[in-house]
Amino acid sequence: MEELLKVNHVTMKFGGLKAINELDMSVSKGEIHGLLGPNGSGKTTCFNVISGVYQPTEGNVFLEGKQINGNERYAINELGIARTFQHISLFSTMSVLENVIVGQHCRTKSGLVSAILRTKKERQEEQKMVERAYELLDFVNLTHRAGELACNLPYGEQRLLEIVRGLASAPKLMMLDEASAGMNSTEKKDLIQIIRAISQQGITVLMIEHDMKLAMSLSDEITVLDHGSKIAEGPPADIQKNQQVIEAYLGKGGVARAK
Ligand SMILES: Nc1ncnc2c1ncn2[C@@H]1O[C@H](COP(=O)(O)OP(=O)(O)OP(=O)(O)O)[C@@H](O)[C@H]1O
């Protein structure tokens, strides 16, 4: 399959700590790729490097063969990468609809002058953005919440709103950082359908996930980190029986006890 994202020999140091250590990872176009690993193994740092929150200490990140590290976050979003955050990061005092409209910002064409003068072109574009925002809200069954403040939504719906805000930028790659965290089992079932539907739209998904069942059932490919290094990669069936992965999660003592 054609490669969409390439993480090439990336190291990310914080002082003396190597949060990521010479990581190579490849995500193919169209796949759902799980990024797993125990707490503190470097998953979120990896997301932060890919999305431009951090510049890697060493190595490079490529999207469709083009180097993207060195760019600002907004530029990386414009190039086609959207993400959600482990700790929900919405514009909490804006409405649900406004949050999705803001997400489309990097795809708007009208410049500052037309925005101030509110030209016909600008009004038409605004109308299109509202229509598209409603379509996206409908996609995650949040249309009825459009006028509410984002901060008033229940936790699970805030997570969905973060996803559609990301989708609003029409990404090639959607990165989900623990999208199912704090969701109940019904919400998780809905989330699984939503992630599959995102993938069916041709958007590649890279997701950090602590719910093993969810990660194993959704992912086409999985990369596992431990202490900042890649310890395994492959399809879920291989990962589930990989001894190094089992030890990373359970510890050697835990493996012995489980036997
Ligand atoms: N900005 C930072 N400054 C210093 N250390 C950091 C920073 N960000 C992450 N770290 C450290 O890097 C290591 C990897 O953290 P990271 O959050 O990437 O792990 P994770 O796999 O996402 O963990 P979790 O599953 O608990 O979210 C940890 O030891 C963490 O304390």
- Upper half-sphere CA count for residue 69 (Cβ side, 13 Å): 22
Cβ of 18 less than 6 Å from ligand 1: no
Q: Return the pLDDT at 258.
A: 47
Domain count, the chain: 2
- Asked which of 168, 193, 223 is the last residue of a domain, the reply is 168
Cβ of 14 less than 6 Å from ligand 1: yes
213 and 253 co-located in one domain: yes
Query: How far is the C-alpha of 180 from the C-alpha of 183, rounded, in Å?
Result: 5
Q: Return the pLDDT at 127.
A: 83
- Asked which of 168, 189, 219 is the last residue of a domain, the reply is 168
Q: Whose CA is nearest to atom 7 of ligand 1?
A: 14
Q: Return the pLDDT at 55.
A: 97
30 and 56 co-located in one domain: yes
Contact by Cβ (8 Å): 26, 64: no
85 assigned to some structural domain = no
177 and 164 co-located in one domain: no
- Asked which of 112, 133, 168 is the last residue of a domain, the reply is 168
Range of the domain at 154: 90-168
Q: Return the pLDDT at 252.
A: 61
249 Cα–ligand 1 center, Å = 17
66 and 175 co-located in one domain: yes
* pLDDT, averaged in runs of 10, over the chain (259 residues): 96 96 97 96 97 97 97 94 89 90 74 61 80 93 94 92 95 96 92 96 96 94 97 96 90 54
Q: Sign of the CA dihedral 205, 206, 209, 212?
A: positive
Number of the ligand 1 atom closest to the C-alpha atom of 41: 21
Q: Return the pLDDT at 18.
A: 96
* Substitution candidate for ligand 1 out of 11, 12, 45 with most atoms within 8 A of CB: 45
Query: How far is the C-alpha of 175 from the C-alpha of 172, rounded, in Å?
Result: 10
| Structure tokens given for 239 | 């990962």
155 and 202 co-located in one domain: no
Query: How far is the C-alpha of 51 from the C-alpha of 71, rounded, in Å?
Result: 9
